[in-house]
Each structure stands twice: as structure tokens, then as C-alpha cells.
Amino acid sequence: MGEIDPAFIQSIEHRPKLTVTDPGEIPVIDLSALHSGAVDLLVADIGKACEEWGFFKVINHGVPLEVVRRIEAAMKEFFDQSIDEKRKVKRDEAKPMGYHDSEHTKNVRDWKEVLDIAVEDPLVISASPDPQDQELTKYYNQWPEYPPEFRKILKEYAGEIEKLAFKLLELISLSLGLAGDRLIEFFQGQTSFIRLNHYPPCPWPELALGVGRHKDAGALTVLFQDGVGGLEVKRKADGEWVGVKPIPNAYIINVGDIIQVWSNDKYESVEHRVVANSEKERFSIPFFLFPAHHVNVKPLEELTNEENPPKFKEYNWGKFMATRNRSDFKKQAVENIQIHHFRVSEQ
């Protein structure tokens, strides 16, 4: 079996339990209510899920099953290639869209390989973290040659998943007492991307994680996972890690840091991770809904007042991402930037 590379080893307090706690508790929400006239109840259910869990599953979501099956097949074909073939589209600091097999979360290497594809090509983002630097840069997708229909299949999938993401954003906006279209303006020129994840079997599931504990920095994440499972969520009620049981053809939704800031802490971005599997490979496809680079993120005025003052200082999304992306390619000596760095002191 050999020895595990120390870069993958989690510290003792963050190593996974090999038994899953209370699977299946994440709320399941049926989006067919959109067409049955029960929208108010649907909005209330989503608001409750966001407040109590930060996560929920959706069924009857409208993404065609045949589109999902095509992207699943294309993803497997891509990752089944040799490492040399995959690295023909390897990403780096100059070309951050593409293949990567040495990503770190919390400065520990993840047991996974990924392919990142921006929804808008080119993706326009801040050139540097320097607040005084107004320069922008364009990042272009690196499209693999194989499978030959990959680009067409991915674009088809992206179109469908984007529709679902904006539908969910509207429902979340309504659940906060806002107009349904209140948040849409922030996504003109979005920096969203789709990630294809492959988690190979891991001989040391007690030491390594597919993805270490983290919170999502964006607004919303829409995740498709296969039947293998492995996603765990830190339950708000007691801090326990609980497994998210796969439901065929369902999507897993979680609110990210931006919605936590917009909602002024009403909806919290919740920590989650992926445990490794010693026997089976796992595939998943998250869609990360990100705003445009020029958006300044702060608590929404409609949701703050004298009794509930803003809990976060304003920050620029493009500069935030330019700072955060530095840790994608090498281990950092300090914690990567997080929204808690913008929290207003309560003193």
C-alpha cells in the first residue's frame, strides 16, 4: 500500500470519523410547488432550511436528466485519461481555469482532482489584490480535446444549471422579504464557474479528506453528486458532522458567505467537507454562483436598522477573490482571507 504523502494528512482534530452521524436530515424541498400555486409555502420552507441548516436538497428542479447523464459521461471520460493528457489543460496562476490535482484546503492537500470551467468566457476579474490597482484581467477556459463533444456538453449543462441557480436565488430573496429580482443585478458579468470533481479511492480514509472543512465564498452553490456520497455538513444545532445521503437526480444547495453578509447573518454559510472512500471513486459537479468583479459586498440596507446594524464591513468581490486565489497553488503561511476578517467588532 505504501505510505501516504504527509501533505494529505489532516491534523488529529479534523480527521474524519469512519461512521456517519444521522444521515439524511438535510431538508428536501420539492420545486414542483412553483407550478402548483404553493409558492408562499415553498419560500417559507427554503427560508427555514437556510436559517436552520444553510443546506437543503431540491427535487423536481427542472434540469433535464439526459443533460445530466451527458455531463456525467463526459466527466468520467475526461478523468479516465492519463495524467499527461489531463495536464495538457493544467491550470496555474496565469491560467486559473483548467485541470488541477494538488489543491489545498486549509493548507492541507485534498484527495481529489478537478477541472474548472468559467460560465462566462473570458472571465473578467481583478488583476491583483491591491485596492489601488484598478487593472482587470481576462481568464480564458482551457477546453480539453477529449472527449470531443466536451465543450458542447458542458455549455448545455451550464445553461440548465444557471437557470436553476437564479430560480433558487429568487426564492431565497423572497424568503428574506425582498423582491424576487433584488439580487440579480449583482450577477451582470458574473464570475461563476463549474467544477468537475473526481475523488479516486483513498487507502487512508482515516487520515485524508477529499475536501477539507471549508465554507463557500460565493453566493450560492448548486451541487450534483453521484450515488457514492461523502459530503458532510457541520450541523448548526450541535456542531456534529452529518452525512448528506444522496437522492437520485436531486441537487444539494448551500448558501455561501455572500448571502450570509447580504442577510446580515440571518442565513449562515455552513462548514462542510468531503470524506474519502477506500473502495469507490466519486464524482460531483458543483456550480458556484459568483457576482461580478466590481460588486461591493455588504449587508443589504433593507435588512439592517438601528436594532440590527450591519455586522460586516463592505468588501470588493474582485479584490477578495484575487487575494483568496493565491492559496490555490501553494501553501500559505497565514490563513486565507475569509468574511470574518470583515466582521464589525462588537466592542
pLDDT (tens digit, 9 = 90+) per residue, 142-156?
999 999 999 999 999
d(CA 37, CA 166): 19
pLDDT-based confidence at 329, cuts 50/70/90? very low
d(CA 345, CA 347): 5
Nine-digit cell string for 137: 484581467
The string of pLDDT tens digits covering residues 54-85 is: 999 999 999 999 999 999 999 999 999 999 99
- Give residue 216's pLDDT: 96
pLDDT-based confidence at 93, cuts 50/70/90? confident
User: How large is the average pLDDT for residues 34-58?
Assistant: 94
Is the Cβ–Cβ distance between 4 and 111 less than 8 Å?
Answer: no
d(CA 293, CA 319): 8
The string of pLDDT tens digits covering residues 273-298 is: 999 999 999 999 999 999 999 999 99
pLDDT at 217 over 60: yes
* Identity of residue 131: P
Of 90-99, 161-170, 291-300, which gets the smallest average pLDDT?
Answer: 90-99
- Give residue 209's pLDDT: 96
Burial pattern 8-46, b for ≥16 Cβ within 10 A else e, equals: bebeeeebbeeebeeeebbbebebebbeeeeeeebbebb
CA dihedral 123, 321, 158, 104 (to 10 degrees): 120
The string of pLDDT tens digits covering residues 221-240 is: 999 999 998 999 999 988 88
Nine-digit cell string for 147: 472527449
Is the Cβ–Cβ distance between 154 and 70 less than 8 Å?
Answer: no
Tell me the HSE value of 136 on the side-chain side, using a 13 A CA sphere. Answer: 13
d(CA 111, CA 40): 42
Of 36-45, 243-252, 330-339, which gets the smallest average pLDDT?
Answer: 330-339
pTM of the model: 0.95
d(CA 295, CA 321): 12
Q: Among candidates 212, 207, 219, 209, which has minimal Cα distance to 259?
A: 219
The string of pLDDT tens digits covering residues 106-145 is: 889 999 999 999 999 999 999 988 888 999 999 999 999 9
- Give residue 25's pLDDT: 79
- Count the residues in the chain: 347
d(CA 264, CA 243): 28
The owner of cell 408562499 is: 40
Looking at CATH, the fold of the domain delimited by 22-342 is given as Jelly Rolls (2.60.120)
CA torsion sign for 68, 175, 238, 208 is: positive
Average pLDDT, the chain: 92
Domains of the chain: which residue ranges?
Answer: 22-342
pLDDT at 179 over 80: yes
> What pairing do the DSSP bridges indicate for beta strands 272-275 and 209-214?
antiparallel
- Give residue 347's pLDDT: 38
pLDDT-based confidence at 158, cuts 50/70/90? very high
d(CA 59, CA 236): 23
- Give residue 38's pLDDT: 84
Burial pattern 277-312, b for ≥16 Cβ within 10 A else e, equals: beeeebbbbbbbbbbbbebebbbbeebeeeeeebbb
- Give residue 339's pLDDT: 85
Nine-digit cell string for 347: 466592542
Cross-strand pairs, 292 = 190
- Give residue 315's pLDDT: 96
